[in-house]
């Protein structure tokens, strides 16, 4: 198992090194598009958060999403949530990323799957919402991601670091009703995500709603069978930095109380919940390299929701 971890870590470090120069990022994107030709998006993992988003909109007194402008933090590759929200009738969806790692083939795959999915239709039906297919847009005819997103009504703002105050120029902040993210905050160090929250707080309206889904599990364990989801807590700071401190593998190993502390400092109407708990496995943490066992039930939270309003 540790040999596999070593191999994966080495792979990410090499990748980070090869594609570090800016001009190499375009070559990387071309390669990813070629490799992703037959990859498909896993839309099911997004049902829980989309359900929560719609519920939250409804609980705030709206009949549907027609008047709601969303802002997604951390676009990623396949844009499943912006597509789902537009198909659920959202007025406008901004999606913001510090980089541009969108993959055209994956976005097309997301579209095909969501359009065909009976489970997605059922989910919307439960909320009394009808699917709005994209009229007059044939995704297969697009060879440029940005053109496709524009025609889908999704405003993609890339190369925008939300922790920097200057990023505010890109939005009409006043129009944003709902901010969400999925699997983003665990990839950002606490001082940086605190800055993002402060930046948002100072520019968004007071009643803006938030939902953020955070995956606290060891992301290496997603790919290495038999690895405990809490394995990342075994390593001390130095060893963990050696294993993961590059732009592909970084995750912050914060626990729920870290997020609670950061969010509750900034937002009055903040609450959080645990969605998945680790039920087995001993947790260890180290002091740089040396391990020591410690016990805390909170460490067992693997997936959490952070909400404002």
The Cα 46–Cα 54 span in angstroms is 12
Q: How far is the CB of 259 from ligand SAM (least distance, A)?
A: 15
Report the residue closest to ligand SAM, judged by CB: 76
Q: Which residues of 106-130 are buried (b: 16+ CB within 10 A; e: fewer)?
A: bbbbbbebbeebeebbebbeebebe
User: Is 5 or 160 the residue whose CB approaches ligand SAM more closely?
Assistant: 160
And the tokens for 249? 């593998």
Give the x/- contact pattern for ligand SAM in 125-164, rule: CB under 6 A.
------------------------------------xxx-
**Which residue from 210, 286, 214 is spatially nearest to 252, judged by alpha carbons?**
214
Contact 204, 176 (CB under 8 A): yes
- DSSP codes of every residue in 175-217: G--EEEEES-GGGS-HHHHHHHHHHHHHHS-TT-EEEEEEE-S
Stretch 164-183 residues interacting with ligand SAM (CB under 6 A)? 182-183
Stretch 185-204 residues interacting with ligand SAM (CB under 6 A)? 187-188, 196
88 is a site residue for ligand SAM (CB under 6 A): no
Which residue among 36, 75, 199, 231 contacts ligand SAM (CB under 6 A)? 75
97 is a site residue for ligand SAM (CB under 6 A): yes
Count interface residues toward ligand SAM (CB under 6 A).
Answer: 19
Span near ligand SAM by CB under 6 A; candidates 61-69, 71-79, 116-124, 129-137: 71-79
Phi, psi angles (nearest 5°) of residue 8? -65, -45
9 is a site residue for ligand SAM (CB under 6 A): no
Contact 175, 207 (CB under 8 A): no
Span near ligand SAM by CB under 6 A; candidates 50-58, 90-98, 110-118, 169-177: 90-98
The residue ranges that bind ligand SAM (CB under 6 A) are: 73-76, 78, 96-99, 101, 161-163, 182-184, 187-188, 196
């Amino acid at each position: 198992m540790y040999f596999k971890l070593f191999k994966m870590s080495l792979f990410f470090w090499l990748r980070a090194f090869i594609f570090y120069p800016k001009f190499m990022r375009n070559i990387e994107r071309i390669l990813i598009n070629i490799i992703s030709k037959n990859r498909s998006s896993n839309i099911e993992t997004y049902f829980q958060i989309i359900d929560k988003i719609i519920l939250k909109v409804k609980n705030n007194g709206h009949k549907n999403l027609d008047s709601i402008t969303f802002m997604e933090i951390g676009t990623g590759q396949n844009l499943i949530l912006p597509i789902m929200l537009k198909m659920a009738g959202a007025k406008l969806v901004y999606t913001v990323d510090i980089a541009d790692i969108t993959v055209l083939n994956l976005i097309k795959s997301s579209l095909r799957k969501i359009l065909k999915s009976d489970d997605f239709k059922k989910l919307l039906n439960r909320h009394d919402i009808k699917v709005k297919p994209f009229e007059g847009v044939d995704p297969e005819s697009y060879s440029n991601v940005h053109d496709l997103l524009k025609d889908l009504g999704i405003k993609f703002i890339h190369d925008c670091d939300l922790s920097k105050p200057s990023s505010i120029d890109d939005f009409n902040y006043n129009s944003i009703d709902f901010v969400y993210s999925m699997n983003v905050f665990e990839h950002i160090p606490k001082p940086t995500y605190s800055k993002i929250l402060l930046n948002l707080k100072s520019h968004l309206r007071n009643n803006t709603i938030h939902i953020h889904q955070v995956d606290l599990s060891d992301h290496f364990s997603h790919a290495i069978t038999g690895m405990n989801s809490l394995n990342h807590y075994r390593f001390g700071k130095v060893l963990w930095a050696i294993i993961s401190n590059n732009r592909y593998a970084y995750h912050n190993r914060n626990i729920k109380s870290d997020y609670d502390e950061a969010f509750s400092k900034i937002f009055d109407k903040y609450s959080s919940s645990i969605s998945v708990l680790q039920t087995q496995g001993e947790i260890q943490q180290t002091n740089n390299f040396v391990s020591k066992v410690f016990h805390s039930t909170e460490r067992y939270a693997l997936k959490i929701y952070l909400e404002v309003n």
